[in-house]
Chains A and B, each alone.
Chain A
Amino acid sequence: GAGVSQSPRYKVAKRGQDVALRCDPISGHVSLFWYQQALGQGPEFLTYFQNEAQLDKSGLPSDRFFAERPEGSVSTLKIQRTQQEDSAVYLCASSSAATVGEQFFGPGTRLTVL
């Protein structure tokens, strides 16, 4: 596609529910990133994929967070047993570079946990 797309754009979950957030990167982009953005803050890194390999998951806040990119294109960020502190905007970005390069962001998914 022309840009990075994410779905859903908005998600409301009851505490304890599992959620799955989807990212479609720019076609052909090797690298894919997930970020979490709290209100009034800059994005915080969660995890990074190069093709289907998850090379860095150091930013995932707990073992309730899981990300995958099985075919090296679409990625899913899953949050199990959601908590109120998980409420944030989850941003996905992709890059054509296998090393450090310009990142292009999707519109984000706003997750609200009640």
Chain B
Amino acid sequence: KQEVTQIPAALSVPEGENLVLNCSFTDSAIYNLQWFRQDPGKGLTSLLLIQSSQREQTSGRLNASLDKSSGRSTLYIAASQPGDSATYLCAVPPGNNNDMRFGAGTRLTVKP
């Protein structure tokens, strides 16, 4: 069974710092990996989708990398801003099924 782990569970940084969020998964036979953002009391907003054949994806200040063989993905946030404060979740579909397996998330706080 696919298990997804995110470290750290919570992170607090001053504004302007670059930071890295980590995601690991136990079964490397994945089709893709998706990073989401969730604000308190809200649904999930898709940030980046990395296909299994890709090494990384970039969107603005966000960069996500994928290393299938080691079962790891990282989300890099450059020049963090208070508006980046949210919970960040990574998710992978197990095997050829469609349901996503989620990590518990990293709760990020960026202090002004």
A and B are interacting partners:
yes
Instruction: Pick the residue among A41, A43, A56, A108 that contacts B97 (CB under 8 A).
Output: A56
* Complex CA–CA separation, A62 to B35 (angstroms): 29
Instruction: Pick the residue among A41, A48, A101 that contacts B99 (CB under 8 A).
Output: A48
Q: Are A43 and B102 in contact (CB under 8 A)?
A: yes
Complex: chain B residue closest to A43, CB-CB: B102
Interface string of A2-37 (1 = CB under 8 A from B): 001010000000000000000000000001010100
Within 8 Å of chain A (Cβ to Cβ): is B78?
no
Count of chain A to chain B residue pairs whose CB atoms are closer than 8 Å in the complex: 69
Q: A40-B104, A42-B104, A42-B105 are in contact. Are A104 and B99 (CB under 8 A)?
A: no
Q: Are B98 and A31 in contact (CB under 8 A)?
A: yes
Within 8 Å of chain A (Cβ to Cβ): is B75?
no
Q: Are A56 and B99 in contact (CB under 8 A)?
A: yes
Instruction: Pick the residue among A6, A33, A105, A110 that contacts B45 (CB under 8 A).
Output: A105
A97 to chain B, nearest CB (A): 8
Within 8 Å of chain A (Cβ to Cβ): is B101?
yes
Within 8 A of B (CB), among A41-89: 41-45, 48, 55-56, 59
* Complex CA–CA separation, A16 to B96 (angstroms): 37
What bracket does the count of chain A residues touching chain B fall in?
A: 20 to 34
Q: Are A105 and B99 in contact (CB under 8 A)?
A: no
Q: Are B46 and A100 in contact (CB under 8 A)?
A: no
Within 8 A of A (CB), among B67-95: 89, 91, 93
* Complex CA–CA separation, A4 to B46 (angstroms): 12
Name B residues whose Cβ lies closer than 8 Å to a Cβ of A: 4, 31-32, 34, 36, 41-46, 49, 89, 91, 93, 96-105
Known: A91-B44, A106-B43. 18 other contacts (CB 8 A): A6-B43, A35-B100, A42-B89, A42-B91, A42-B104, A43-B102, A55-B98, A56-B98, A99-B98, A100-B98, A101-B32, A101-B98, A102-B32, A104-B46, A105-B36, A105-B44, A105-B45, A108-B42
Closest 8 CB pairs of A and B: A42-B102, A45-B99, A105-B44, A100-B31, A107-B43, A105-B43, A102-B49, A100-B93
